[in-house]
Amino acid sequence: MPNLLSRLFRALPFAAVALFFAAGAASAQTYGFATLPAGSLNYVTASAIAKVLKEKAGMNVLVQPTAGDQVIIPMVERNEADIGISNAMEIHDGAEHGDKDLRIIAAVHALRVGFFVRKDSKMTKVADLKGTRVPTGFSAMRALEPTVRAMLATAGLSEKDIKPVLVPNVVRSADDFASGAADSFYFAFGAPKVREVDATVGGIRMVEIDPKGMDAARKIEKWGYLTQVKPGPAFVGVDHPMMVYSFDNLIFTNSKASDDFVYKVLDTLLKNKADLVSQQPVLGEFSVEFAYKKYDVPYHPGALKYFKEHNIQPAALQ
């Protein structure tokens, strides 16, 4: 009996340690963050956000690259991923097609997009795309197709005036251009892929959009607007100040996410903006005021609580 008791008491500390680590493992939670493929602007943004949430809030966020927004939206809506990042058009398109549980956390920055051509090309404006091979379709990023048509409309063009090159996503758009299969490619400023293509083909240029054509563009896509950009490291292909087509990039979740989780995400990101910008410069415009916009898809209650506490009202799009 003494030997039995002795062995029992010697075993207790080890059992207690084992229980402690088992409890710790059970309490540790990994949050999935659905985003676009590596090389895209959104992949870099998601990686920066995940890093800050882990380092500053102890949240183990795992970036999950996917083929496109048509995968991201339903993943988040079905709670297969806790957070997603996508543009305003894709999220609203998802909601209109049955993804009713989508909830916005915040607008994080504007996506400034357009058509890039070779720097030595004679094409300088959207109207010059007439009769050329232009990427279109975007089967894995369905809501981008209206933005293509909207930008063409600013110059009085339609799909009938171009030679469509069907692509599933923006990365394929860039690859087809680099290989010579297209005369232009559609992408957002700030993405690593844009710099890659710029180096591959010996220089690229963004074709300029005519602000006078925005009335026609808004008849096709309501969430788009114009912002001005200037030559600089973030704007490859811009050699003079110009207006570019823009729309908001949003981080979002679903109705099943807890208020505390969403509040913590928003609070952590806004308190650590400098860390975000150091890893992803496009987040320089992220602020509590920018985060809350008038959209048709509802914001999550946890986000609304944060905005209410900071006396922020939803801003109208430009």
Give the separation between CA 266 and CA 276, rounded to whole angstroms: 13
Confidence tier at 39 by pLDDT (50, 70, 90): confident
Using the predicted structure, report yes or no on whether residue 242 has a pLDDT greater than 50: yes
CATH of domain 30-110+249-309: 3.40.190.10
**Nearest partner of 280 among 108, 63, 32, judged by Cα:** 108
Confidence tier at 136 by pLDDT (50, 70, 90): very high
Confidence tier at 7 by pLDDT (50, 70, 90): very low
* Cβ-count burial 111-138 (b if 16+ within 10 Å, e if not): bbbbbbbbeebebeebbbbeebbbbbbb
Q: What is the mean pLDDT of residues 137-161?
A: 92
Q: Where are the alpha helices (H) located in the chain, listed in sequence order?
A: 2-27, 41-57, 69-77, 88-96, 144-153, 170-179, 192-201, 214-218, 259-271, 273-279, 288-291, 301-309
Task: Say yes or no: do domains 30-110+249-309 and 112-247 share a fold.
Answer: yes
- The pLDDT > 90 percentage for the chain reads 79
Q: Where are the alpha helices (H) located in 138-287, listed in sequence order?
A: 144-153, 170-179, 192-201, 214-218, 259-271, 273-279
Q: pLDDT tens across 212-239, in order? A: 999 999 999 989 999 999 998 889 999 9
- Largest Cα–Cα distance in the chain? 95
Using the predicted structure, report yes or no on whether residue 76 has a pLDDT greater than 90: yes
Using the predicted structure, report yes or no on whether residue 131 has a pLDDT greater than 60: yes
What pLDDT, on a 0 to 100 scale, did the predictor assign at position 28? 67
Q: Where are the domains of the chain?
A: 30-110+249-309, 112-247
Using the predicted structure, report yes or no on whether residue 41 has a pLDDT greater than 90: no
For 227, other C-beta atoms within 10 Å of its C-beta total 14
What pLDDT, on a 0 to 100 scale, did the predictor assign at position 17? 40
Q: What is the mean pLDDT of residues 175-204?
A: 95
Query: Is this structure's pTM higher than 0.85?
Result: no
Give the separation between CA 299 and CA 104, rounded to whole angstroms: 4
Q: Where are the alpha helices (H) located in 100-212, listed in sequence order?
A: 144-153, 170-179, 192-201
What pLDDT, on a 0 to 100 scale, did the predictor assign at position 317? 79
Confidence tier at 159 by pLDDT (50, 70, 90): very high
Give the separation between CA 10 and CA 4, rounded to whole angstroms: 10
Tokens of 230: 């200037």
Q: pLDDT tens across 96-110, in order? A: 988 899 999 999 999
What pLDDT, on a 0 to 100 scale, did the predictor assign at position 121? 96
What pLDDT, on a 0 to 100 scale, did the predictor assign at position 141? 82
CATH of domain 112-247: 3.40.190.10
What pLDDT, on a 0 to 100 scale, did the predictor assign at position 18? 42
Give the separation between CA 212 and CA 227, rounded to whole angstroms: 14
**Count H helices, E strands: the chain?**
12, 10
What is the residue whose two structure tokens read 């591959």? 200
Q: pLDDT tens across 245-288, in order? A: 999 999 999 999 999 999 999 999 999 999 999 999 889 999 99
Give the separation between CA 153 and CA 127, rounded to whole angstroms: 9
What is the DSSP code (8-state) at residue 314?
P
The mean predicted confidence, pLDDT, of the chain is 90
